[in-house]
Chains A and B, each alone.
Chain A
Amino acid sequence: MSYDFLVAVLATAVVAGTPILYAALGELICERSGILNLGVEGMMLVGAVTGFIAALSTGNPWAGVLAALIAGGAMASIHAVLTVSLKANQVVSGLALTLFGTGLSAYIGKAYIGMPLANPFRPFEIPVLSEIPFLGPILFRNDPLVYLTFLLVPLAWFLLFRTKAGLNMRAVGENPAAADSLGVNVFATRYMYIIIGGMLAGVGGAYLSLAYVPAWMENMVAGRGWIAVALVIFATWNPVNALLGAYIFGGIHALGFRLQTLDVNVSPYFLKMLPYLFTIAVLIFVTRKNNRSRIGAPKALGQAYDREER
């Protein structure tokens, strides 16, 4: 494998990993507050389509990001009402969100399929940094949404582990009754982080339609939302690990893509299977490793909180 090929694969890995990273960060924050949201795929799709339409009609990709934030947050708030206030089953509610989002995005995106986007996010080089050998071309010749994740990941880590808000978030996810008795508003905390999680998933979807492709296609998220859910487990609920994990997943995508251009004698259908098979393999590996100590998983994850049943 030549040096140039390696750099090309790794650069593609960063780009391909970014939508998964946004979604995984959102899901991570949500799960830290004790709520499992399996609607990531649906929220990403709705973010992708609303982002695309907003960017197309305003000519500004940032308007697309704003629209995706709002749409993702709105989708997530359905999950919040159902699981926090009405104590519905979190697994089924998340699934409903994904199914609903798949239908909704296809419905509103029907007229926009295959339309070109005049002003997508474009890569630009960061002066000085982009000249660093090896790392420069991989990390610092990207579009603004990639750079944003370089800030977002340390920010999320800092919020989680170094602030009072992060402590409260984790307390609500670990032991809501104890957090409640200390005066933390469990319901408001969960609502907030479910909605923030949805907003990030929306941006993850919009990254696909505004930078990665950039166009709207039905079902264009193609399972990345689910990969993001798996990635949270892989990352043991830590944002920094999520970054690394997202790039590994991105690398698998990139490798499949690059191998096709190299004329390797493997059917493209098998190469396309790689990220899904890899997700399964990783999940088995991580679960085996973690079973002894249950590292990182919030203890109250998936359980509704009822003040009367403390």
Chain B
Amino acid sequence: MKIGLITLEKRAAPSPIMAVMVPVVSVFMALLVGAIFLKITGREPLPIYFEMFSRAFGTRYGLSETIVKSIPLMLAGLGVAVAFRMQLWNIGGEGQLFMGAFAATWVALSFPDQAAYLLLPLMFFAGCAGGAVWGLLPAIPRAYMGVNEIITTLMLNYVAILWVEYLVYGPWKDPHGYNFPLTAKFTAGAILPTMGDSRIHAGLLFGLTIAVVLWVVFNRTKWGYEVRVIGDSPGAARFAGMNIPRNILVVMAVSGAICGLAGMAEVSGLMHRLQPGFSPGYGYTAIIIAWLAKLNPLAIVLVAFLFGGLQVGGYIVQTTGVPATMVAMLQGSVLFFILGGDILLRYRLRWRRSPDSGAPGKGVGA
């Protein structure tokens, strides 16, 4: 195939060098696009980037905040990656996160006098269950009727966010909260322990543990293999006797549960209450993270850490007048470059030669 002066030759196997090069180069290209945007809008890109990165990764406080922000990104990224493995497009991470936070808050507010060793496990399971139910709702019509899960998972995000708004503006509003849309503050037993004097909470352990477990499940178990086969070639999977509808339900429940856990960790570890807008779109950023990490659970941890830093950097430069949404733009463009760059995994680029300079490599099409 040819594009302009470049000839593309199909590779026999995806290039391992490109698998590392493409994401790295993509991040730099996205930063370049961001720099051009900053320049156009009359700002100096280099000092802004320097400020973002030196503060997010170079100071003790910044680094701990980066880790704090990476926790929900990591969990939600792992969650959506489970579904993406089977080519189920769970875009509902955000809603599952909200429902996890809702369910965990319900436990925290219902049993305020319980000790942490009872309350925290309960909230953990409630968070998982809330997310799992929200993942299952679209999974059932997808499994048995083939209803497009992209749209249904996405619609449920709006429903979940409105549900939480209804609660915090209405029945769950803290009577002593000066009419702010917040629930009452959690009691001590409902709060996840933190590391030292930082804000880094036990949610980090949830994320790291789940990443390792998922890596083992995906790479070392029969079920992990089955999930990938169903995703890559449902026909072959059906022929091999794999139960596709059941797997859709299980995968979406697991995916939703992990996203729900992200919500639980956020309210129990960081916010200590439920409030609207506690997630600046973690469930959507998670999609980019999962894709950037090529759905590899261990890579998701790393990418989530980088994106956490980006988020923190965004907040920091906001004080200098750069909108924090700058970061969302950067994240979107990273994904563009990754997608475009993926062709380099599958194809080798050659400058087209003139006919008399020797035959080009094999496999050149018309």
Query: Which residues of A pack against B, CB within 8 Å?
Result: 38, 78, 81-82, 85-89, 91-93, 95-97, 99-104, 106-108, 110, 218, 222-223, 226-227, 229-230, 233, 267, 269-270, 272-273, 276-277, 279-280, 283-284, 287-288, 291, 306-308
Contact of B339 with A86 in the complex, beta carbons under 8 Å: yes
A283 to B91, CA, bound (A): 16
Given known contacts A107-B325, A107-B326, A283-B148, A308 and B170 CB-to-CB distance under 8 angstroms? no
A288 to B144, CA, bound (A): 10
Contact of A103 with B327 in the complex, beta carbons under 8 Å: yes
Residue of A nearest to B149 (CB): A283
- Report A-chain residues with C-beta under 8 Å of the C-beta of B365: 307-308
CB of B89 closer than 8 Å to a CB of A:
yes
Contact of B336 with A110 in the complex, beta carbons under 8 Å: no
- Report A-chain residues with C-beta under 8 Å of the C-beta of B10: 308
Residue of A nearest to B291 (CB): A92
- Report B-chain residues with C-beta under 8 Å of the C-beta of A267: 166, 170
CB of B257 closer than 8 Å to a CB of A:
no
Residue of B nearest to A310 (CB): B365
Query: Which residues of B pack against A, CB within 8 Å?
Result: 1, 3, 10, 37, 41, 89, 91, 138, 141, 145-148, 150-152, 154-156, 158-159, 162-163, 165-166, 169-170, 281, 284-285, 287-288, 291, 323, 325-333, 335-336, 339-340, 342-343, 363, 365-366
Given known contacts A85-B3, A288-B145, A100 and B336 CB-to-CB distance under 8 angstroms? yes
Q: How far is the CB of B205 from chain A (nearest CB, A)?
A: 29
Contact of A291 with B145 in the complex, beta carbons under 8 Å: yes
What is the interface of chain B mostly: helix, strand, loop, or mixed?
helix
Contact of A81 with B165 in the complex, beta carbons under 8 Å: no
- Beyond A89-B339, A103-B329, A279-B151, 13 additional contacts (C-beta under 8 Å) are A82-B339, A93-B339, A96-B336, A100-B328, A102-B284, A102-B325, A102-B328, A106-B328, A222-B158, A273-B158, A284-B145, A287-B145, A307-B1
Contact of A269 with B165 in the complex, beta carbons under 8 Å: yes
Q: How far is the CB of A146 from chain B (nearest CB, A)?
A: 25
- Report B-chain residues with C-beta under 8 Å of the C-beta of A273: 158-159, 162-163
- Report A-chain residues with C-beta under 8 Å of the C-beta of B169: 269
What is the interface of chain A mostly: helix, strand, loop, or mixed?
helix
- Report A-chain residues with C-beta under 8 Å of the C-beta of B152: 280, 283-284
Contact of A104 with B329 in the complex, beta carbons under 8 Å: yes
Residue of B nearest to A277 (CB): B159
Contact of A100 with B332 in the complex, beta carbons under 8 Å: yes
Q: How far is the CB of A83 from chain B (nearest CB, A)?
A: 9
Q: How far is the CB of B98 from chain A (nearest CB, A)?
A: 13
Contact of B141 with A276 in the complex, beta carbons under 8 Å: no
- Report A-chain residues with C-beta under 8 Å of the C-beta of B284: 99, 102
Residue of B nearest to A230 (CB): B151
